[in-house]
């Protein structure tokens, strides 16, 4: 979500993009993702997992882990330890049930935390993933600096984020989906109006080249920026500068 929209208060007093807001939609969050993304979100996560280029025994930090979809995908694909961090207790509660059901409780740990102030030492993790969460961070540059700090030299950082194509037929279709379909379907399924913030947050998120420049300014060397599904989503892959 954009910094501007975070200051708005949805019904019930929860601020957009906060852990409190996501507590309110946690039980329907996975269904909403499947419907709103037309079922494509799991494939996007698999692409992010591959981009981490993990070795057995690695420690991976999954920021904005939510209901642990990406954390589970990483642990299923590789014999690694995953630490999932999120500000929403409600989302983590759903995630813990999913981790237990997947038989991954020994390798996936979920805890409350803030991407802007990680409780981890320098160069303490081998890789970082983050799916559809950087929009919701008030100080994105600070969060990116934290990623650069806690990732070991040569480790990979993979960030997935929604994007709004700016031109062409796909751009028109994507804008219609974001501005009309997402708020209507999200509200209908969840019974809450918080999902209406998506149209604003996606539109306000910087274009891929600008966000890549923000990453560079935070001490990351951007390895590639990969548009997915004709630019509806972007995968940013980086490593700490100097690695």
Name the residue range of residue 37's domain.
Answer: 3-240
Dist. CA 71–CA 53, nearest whole Å: 15
- The end-to-end CA distance of the chain, in Å, is 31
Dist. CA 79–CA 215, nearest whole Å: 29
Q: What is the CATH number of the domain that holds 49?
A: 3.40.50.150
Annotated binding site for S-adenosyl-L-methionine: 67, 86, 114-115
Annotated binding site: 67, 86, 114-115
Please tell me the predicted confidence (pLDDT) of residue 161. Answer: 94
**Count of structural domains within the chain:** 1
Supply the pTM of this predicted model: 0.86
**Number of neighbouring beta carbons within 10 Å of residue 146:** 23
Q: What is the pLDDT of residues 153-201, one digit of tens each?
A: 999 999 999 887 766 666 677 667 666 776 677 666 665 555 666 667 7
Please tell me the predicted confidence (pLDDT) of residue 191. Answer: 56
């Amino acid at each position: 979500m954009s910094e501007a929209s975070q200051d708005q208060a949805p019904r019930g007093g929860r601020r957009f993009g906060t852990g409190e807001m996501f507590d309110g939609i946690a039980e329907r969050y996975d269904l909403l993702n499947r419907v709103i993304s037309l079922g494509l979100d799991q494939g996007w996560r698999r692409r992010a997992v591959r981009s981490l280029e993990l070795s057995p025994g690695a420690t991976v930090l999954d920021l904005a882990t939510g209901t642990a979809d990406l954390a589970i995908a990483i642990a299923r694909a590789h014999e690694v330890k995953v630490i999932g961090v999120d500000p929403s207790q409600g989302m983590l509660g759903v995630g813990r049930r999913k981790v237990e059901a997947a038989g991954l409780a020994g390798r996936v740990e979920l805890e409350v935390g803030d991407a802007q102030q990680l409780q981890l030492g320098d160069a303490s993790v081998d890789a970082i993933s983050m799916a559809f969460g950087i929009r919701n961070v008030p100080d994105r540059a600070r969060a990116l600096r934290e990623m650069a700090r806690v990732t070991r030299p040569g480790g990979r950082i993979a960030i997935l984020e929604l994007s709004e194509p700016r031109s062409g037929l796909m751009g028109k279709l994507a804008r219609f989906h974001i501005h009309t379909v997402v708020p209507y379907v999200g509200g209908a399924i969840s019974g809450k109006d918080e999902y209406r913030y998506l149209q604003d947050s996606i539109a306000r998120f910087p274009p891929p080249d600008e966000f890549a420049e923000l990453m560079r300014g935070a001490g990351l060397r951007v390895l590639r920026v990969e548009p997915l599904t004709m630019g509806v989503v972007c995968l940013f892959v980086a490593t700490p500068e100097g690695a």
